[in-house]
Amino acid sequence: MPGEALAFFVKAGRKGGKIGGKARVANMTPEQLSEANRKAVQTRWAKAKSGKSLGASRPNRNRVNMNAVVRFHKQAELLRESSGSTNIEKTLLKALKVLKLFNIPHYVCGGFAVQEHGYPRFTLDADIIVPDVDFARGKLFMNGFKENPGSKMTIIDRETKVEIDLLPGGGKLDPGPLTLPMPTQVSDQPQVLTLERLISSKLSTYIGRGIVRAQDYADVVKLIQVNRLSRDFGVEDKVRDLYRKIWDELHPKKS
């Protein structure tokens, strides 16, 4: 991605983060912030799909967080447009319609989720957590997707050629300490992992696979910075030491 474009997104994010609502957000716990962000993401997607504007009648606290989430989503859309990766969102929404048709719950994770949580970094595919990978694959094969011969968990959109990795809810893909969360919500709108779960999952993968998953470590660093997370942010116990180590390195004590 061109350096000028990335600089634009970073500057835009910083400018937006300074606008209003600081006192309200400061009174929320990390868990409340993350849950409000998750709900705001779903609301934003629902409003965008229906063509309606974001309602102004919501409580101020939720509206402040919604403004941040909308800003993050707009940054992500700008990134996809400038990098020629808009087909990722198109393919994701196509897949989610199929999953909903067959009553399959999901979570969206990976680079797409990172973008939606405020870090505008490039990605080429989408990652979806489902309860049963084989069942989901079969239904997607019947509705516009094809198999990737090199992977039993990867499918390809016949139209856009974008790949989607299907990940097993409740399962593990590496020796890390955590299993992937089990999705329960059926929807044709992206059920993006909460920030706690996204960061916990990425730290677990980094612990399990080390330097080959350096991108996960870098994602956590940027997510901490852009969301101004606290040292006591509610990540899983098994990855908390690593989270705090990263946080401490980002916030060295003044001598």
More confident of the two residues 91 and 56: 91
78, part of any domain:
yes
pLDDT of residue 56: 33
In three state form, how does the secondary structure of the chain look? Answer: CCHHHHHHHHHHHHHHHCCCCHHHHHCCCHHHHHHHHHHHHHHHHHHHHHCCCCCCCCCHHHHHHHHHHHHHHHHHHHHHHHCCCCHHHHHHHHHHHHHHHCCCCCEEEHHHHHHHCCCCCCCCCEEEEECCHHHHHHHHHCCCEEEECCEEEEEEECCCCCEEEEEECCCCCCCCCCCCCCCCCCCCCCCECCHHHHHHHHHHHHHHHHHHHHHHHHHHHHHHHHHCCCCCCCCCHHHHHHHHHHHHHHCCCCC
For residues 95-112, average pLDDT: 97
Give 125-166 pLDDT, tens digit per residue: 999 999 999 999 999 999 999 999 888 899 999 999 999 999
Residue 137: domain span? 3-250
255, part of any domain:
no
For residues 91-100, average pLDDT: 97
Give 191-248 pLDDT, tens digit per residue: 999 999 999 999 999 999 999 999 999 999 999 999 999 999 999 999 999 999 999 9
194, part of any domain:
yes
18, part of any domain:
yes
Q: At what angle do helices 214-227 and 240-250 cross, to 10 degrees?
A: 60
Number of domains within the chain: 1
190, part of any domain:
yes
Give 32-69 pLDDT, tens digit per residue: 555 555 555 555 555 444 443 333 333 333 343 667 76
Rounded Cα–Cα distance for residues 230 and 52 (Å): 34
pTM of the model: 0.73
176: pLDDT strictly greater than 60: yes
% of the chain residues with pLDDT over 90: 61
163, part of any domain:
yes
